[in-house]
Amino acid sequence: MKKLSYLSVIALLAFTFQSCNSNSKNSNDSADSLNQTMDTTMNGDTTADMAADQDDTEFAGKAAVGGMAEVEFGKIALSKSTNAEVKAFADMMVKDHGKANEELKTIAASKSITLPTSLDEEHTKKMNDLNKLTGRDFDKEYVDAMVDGHKKTLDLMEKEAKDGKDAELRAFASKTAPIVKAHLDQIQKINDSMK
């Protein structure tokens, strides 16, 4: 029976990956759907070391999208900004969030959590908006996005660090929250200096 359960999950994974396309909404929906299906198809014996709580799974998905957005927006800022402080911050975003993203991927894989592979609609729209801007308009919009994004990410990390059921995801959030807080403090200083 265990073999049948594993085979059905593998078949479902293969089907899901085949049916995914580059549309960001479908990518996120597929990850959510796959996580939900795995939660309901695997029995208690097979999920003891693999499956994560629904709230922990949602945290991982939101953290993955937020982390991808920080890296992508940072890359845009590195190519478009003319402000040295903004460029330095963007470089830090690419490095720090890139590292956190890889760590989260490793944890998620060990829990059989399928993370989104592209940005959601909100972040895609913001990326498109940033790509249309130049000069001071770009810098202001990027900095505003970083302040807002880091406030949301800090709330997300602090909630998981406090309430998360999965020890590894809780530890990841606890370790990441102070880094996000330092980013928020720095981007708020940059924001204040631009006024």
Alpha-carbon separation of residue 70 from 3, 27, 83, 124, 186 (angstroms): 40, 18, 18, 12, 15
Vertex 92: Cα angle to 186 and 64 (nearest 5): 100
Closest of 16, 43, 40, 48 to residue 30, by C-alpha: 16
Cα–Cα distance for residue pair 147/99, rounded to 1 Å: 20
How confident is the model over 123-146, as pLDDT tens digits?
999 999 999 999 999 999 999 999
In tens digits, what is the pLDDT along the chain, a chain of 195 residues?
443 333 333 333 333 333 343 344 445 554 554 445 444 444 444 443 456 789 999 999 999 999 999 999 999 999 999 999 999 999 999 999 999 999 999 999 999 999 999 999 999 999 999 999 999 999 999 999 999 999 999 999 999 999 999 999 999 999 999 999 999 999 999 999 998
Closest of 120, 94, 111, 114 to residue 171, by C-alpha: 111
Any idea what DSSP says for residue 166?
S
pTM, whole model, 2 decimals? 0.76
